[in-house]
Amino acid sequence: MSEIQPTPTSATEALDAAHATVEALARALELHDYRRGRFGESASHTARVTRLSLTLTENVAPEIALEPQLAHGFRLHDIGMIGVSNSTLLKPGALTAAELDEVREHPWLGERIVAPVPALGGLARQVIAGHHERWDGSGYPRGLRGIEIPLAARIFAVVDAFDAMTHEQPYREAMSLDAARDEIRARAGLDFDPDVAAAFLELGAAMLEPEL
């Protein structure tokens, strides 16, 4: 009787499982937004920042641009918002200090959510945990500064801020492309890695034009 040979499916199955996990978490975040009356809004934001962050990474750090974990991290950057109470997220007025602290825990919560998932380690966790850290140390949750902040998180921070600037927010209208670029330039070396901000500002206007 001939020996049964193992089939080379384990790697494919692992990739399929990783993809399914990412899709499940992304869907959970979308449904969470649906409960907050923001169905579709978050998905549109995520698609925009993922695309632009990958483009910027190709210019700043091409050696990591094709790593699947990177795109997963960009896509699930706000997964920790699932752990923030609806009473805080839906509050129409200004948040109290305690409520602000709760919101500022979401990167840490996100890191805890994805910790058991191998496909969401490394670069993905760096983005999820560090996308609200700031170059001058004024960010959260850990108050990292400068190159203590992982490069992937520094890249995403610029793109995430730009997307927020160029789309309408509850507290202000959308900024023009030129005004948003000026704001990124002004905050380089404060909120943002100056080299990453400079690379972002070198991207063509057509690439930065706000999408719906």
Q: How far apart are CA 102 and CA 193, in angstroms?
A: 26
Q: How far apart are CA 162 and CA 142, in angstroms?
A: 22
Comparing CA positions, the residue from 132, 190, 194, 137 lying closest to residue 161 is 132
Q: Measured between alpha carbons, how far apart are the two ends of the chain, in Å?
A: 63
**The total number of residues written for the chain in this structure:** 212
- In a 13 Å sphere around the CA of 171, the CA atoms on its Cβ side amount to 7
pTM for this predicted structure:
0.88
CA 141 to chain centre: 14
Rounded CA Rg of the chain: 19
pLDDT digits (tens, 9 = 90+) for 149-171: 999 999 999 999 999 999 887 66
Mean pLDDT of all residues belonging to the chain: 88
Comparing CA positions, the residue from 2, 8, 5, 19 lying closest to residue 120 is 19
Q: Which DSSP string corresponds to 109-157?
A: HHHHHHTT-GGGSTHHHHHHHHTT--TTS--SSS---GGGS-HHHHHHH
Percent of the chain predicted with pLDDT > 70 = 87
CB of 158 closer than 8 Å to CB of 134: no
* pLDDT reported for residue 40: 62
CB of 153 closer than 8 Å to CB of 126: yes
pLDDT digits (tens, 9 = 90+) for 40-89: 677 888 999 999 999 999 999 999 999 999 999 999 999 999 999 888 88
The residue-averaged pLDDT of 170-178 equals 84
Domain annotation for the chain: domains and CATH numbers: 11-208 (1.10.3210.10)
Task: Output the CA angle 68-69-71, nearest 5 degrees.
Answer: 70
CB of 120 closer than 8 Å to CB of 21: yes
* pLDDT reported for residue 86: 85
